[in-house]
Amino acid sequence: MPAQEPTPTPPAPPAPPVSLAALLGRQDLGLRLLAGPDDASIHWVHTSEMADPYPYLLGGELLMTAGVQLTNPALYVERVVEAGAAALGFGVAPVHDTVPAELVSACERHGLPLLEVPPHTPFTAVARAVWRLMAEARHRELRRVTEAQQSLATAAARPAPVPAVLGALASRLGGRAVLYAADGTAYAAAGRAIGAEAEAALRDLAGVVGPRPGGPASASGDGGGMRLAAYALGGGDGLALGVAAERREASDHTIAGVAVVLLSLLTAPHRGADVSARDTALVRLLLGTPPAEAAPALGAGPWTVVHAHGGDGTPFAAGALAAALGTQLVDAGDTGSGRSGTIRLLLPGSAAVTAQEGWTLGVSAAAEPDALAAADAQAARALRRAQATRAPLVRHRPGGFAALVDPAEAAAHARALLAPLNEPLRETLRAWLSLHGNWDRTAVALDVHRNTVRQRVTRCAALLDRDLDDPDVRMELWFALRVP
């Protein structure tokens, strides 16, 4: 069988994975581990009776099968492992009375966990158990984040807020939290002591993040037997938060992000004059002062406008994004979280804007203060393009030929051209065209089966009465789908 290119890594599911050991602990299912380790992480469940399930796997699945077309167990296991499945569940009866010994040997050889599913346990029961375990884990995670937010907010209101926030963070993460200056000096620290090796590694990691051009907003690593993470505080003065713990939970990053926002606010007096000058400039602009007159107080240009959509739904989302991008000039919109609105940020033109987990960003070209309105429109268009192509970040680029078309005429033509298509068909066609007609990648992007993609695209071709293999047709449809 010819080799296939590796399947692109899919986006992580919204719920935390389930450990195989937790699933095996469900007595009502009667599952039995026949081969491989029990420490695998299951992200989803998929049932397939295909002879080669490789094209239909995303990675991280518990693959369920009754072996209807199992003719070569060794090759079957090899393909399943190659696709990145987390474990294999084999149902005995009605096809096989027992799990084939060759299948057990192949799984043991490749280190793939193999579960025996007894006849009285339907595959749907296993899938339902996995979803319930995921829901329970997600509930625990959300409760942990909520309780951490409350304790950090309470600590920030105490007479000595910075040490109190560090103490609350260290307690929640079960380790140590340190606030570093730009030169590596520890301003304050809290939590249990860690070894000298871990202390040195954490200080070095904190030196990696910071305000230098292109520097990351966060970094993680290991040292001295501890899991380490560092976060740059907003404001550009080099302050960084370092965290060390024996283990790392999925929600630790969110909790640390809350602490970053609070510590950025609490340490604001270090840069109060600069902030006051910029706030004054913004007030002048709002009151109608010409941009050229407000520019000296705003600071030397150029500036970059960023539009953002996404976040984790908490009130801290906009502040955390602003801190990650290294700015305090943020308009959080109506929600303050960006979940249902767009957040707008203003950064120095030299700032390196990078993709942020959980966010979709549109970035303008660098502009002088008197051209910020145009830059704002550029960022809005870039954000719409990012959302349409499911890209985490899109930067403004010249419109090319598409920009030469009158927007009103383009919109009218697009409406007429695409009128036969409903929204699901338009979304499928847009994704399919953006991925150059690749069926598998489009199926992954839309979270549907690739046969569904084929059916929808075929339906689009029939409704539009056009040959979608014609590059001119594809170009015209792509332009039409991009019209706001």
Going by pLDDT thresholds of 50, 70 and 90, the confidence category of residue 15 is: low
Query: Tokens 């590596």 correspond to what residue?
Result: 184
Pairing mode, strands 175-180 and 114-117: unpaired
Number of domains in the chain: 4
Query: Do residue 305 and residue 374 come from a single domain?
Result: yes
Is-contact 230 205, C-beta < 8 A? yes
Q: Residue 450: name the closest of 11, 458, 475 by CA.
A: 458
Per the structure block, which two tokens stand in for 165?
A: 């926030």
Across 165-174, 228-237, 291-300, the highest mean pLDDT is recorded for 165-174
Query: Do residue 411 and residue 390 come from a single domain?
Result: no
The C-alpha angle 164, 168, 174, rounded to 5 degrees, equals 140
Answer yes or no: is 59 within a domain.
yes
Answer yes or no: is 25 within a domain.
yes
CATH number where 74 lies = 3.40.1390.20
Query: Do residue 170 and residue 238 come from a single domain?
Result: yes
Per the structure block, which two tokens stand in for 88?
A: 């294999």
Domain extent, residue 378, equals 300-397
pLDDT of 16 above 90? no
The C-alpha angle 317, 142, 155, rounded to 5 degrees, equals 65
What SS3 state is found at 47?
A: strand
Q: Which of 84, 115, 132 is the last residue of a domain?
A: 132
Query: Do residue 421 and residue 393 come from a single domain?
Result: no
Query: Do residue 128 and residue 67 come from a single domain?
Result: yes
- The H-or-E segment that residue 394 falls in is strand 393-395
Query: Do residue 240 and residue 223 come from a single domain?
Result: yes
Answer yes or no: is 5 within a domain.
no
Query: Do residue 111 and residue 215 come from a single domain?
Result: no
Answer yes or no: is 246 within a domain.
yes
The DSSP secondary structure of 109-161, one letter per residue, reads HHT--EEEE-TTS-HHHHHHHHHHHHHHHHHHHHHHHHHHHHHHHHHHTSSSH
Sorted by sequence, the CB contacts under 8 Å of residue 25 that are 6+ apart come out as: none
Answer yes or no: is 281 within a domain.
no
CA distances from residue 62 to 24, 195, 232 in whole angstroms, order as listed: 12, 40, 38
User: Phi, psi (5° rounding) for residue 28?
Assistant: -70, -20
How high is the pLDDT of residue 236?
58
Query: Do residue 374 and residue 444 come from a single domain?
Result: no
Integer Cα distance of 478 and 433 in angstroms: 7
Query: Tokens 């960003």 correspond to what residue?
Result: 361
Integer Cα distance of 302 and 133 in angstroms: 51
Q: Which of 350, 371, 397 is the last residue of a domain?
A: 397
Where in 10-123 does DSSP place strands (E)?
18-19, 32-35, 41-42, 44-47, 61-65, 87-91, 114-117
Q: Residue 342: name the closest of 402, 385, 383, 400 by CA.
A: 383
Query: Do residue 195 and residue 241 come from a single domain?
Result: yes
Could you read off the pLDDT of 303-348 as tens digits, one per residue?
888 999 987 564 446 766 887 788 877 777 654 433 457 888 888 8
Q: What is the DSSP letter of 367?
A: B
Query: Do residue 372 and residue 425 come from a single domain?
Result: no
How high is the pLDDT of residue 107?
96
Average pLDDT over residues 459-482: 88
pTM score above 0.75:
no
Integer Cα distance of 194 and 244 in angstroms: 8
Integer Cα distance of 137 and 250 in angstroms: 10
Which of 76-90, 252-266, 268-282, 439-453 shows the lowest per-residue confidence on average (mean pLDDT)?
268-282
Answer yes or no: is 74 within a domain.
yes
CATH number where 167 lies = 3.30.450.30
Answer yes or no: is 343 within a domain.
yes
Answer yes or no: is 143 within a domain.
no
Query: Do residue 308 and residue 371 come from a single domain?
Result: yes
Query: Do residue 194 and residue 128 come from a single domain?
Result: no
Average pLDDT over residues 150-160: 79
The DSSP secondary structure of 173-238, one letter per residue, reads HTEEEEEE-TTS-EEEEEES---HHHHHHHHHHHHHSSSSTT--SEEEEEETTEEEEEEEPTTSS-
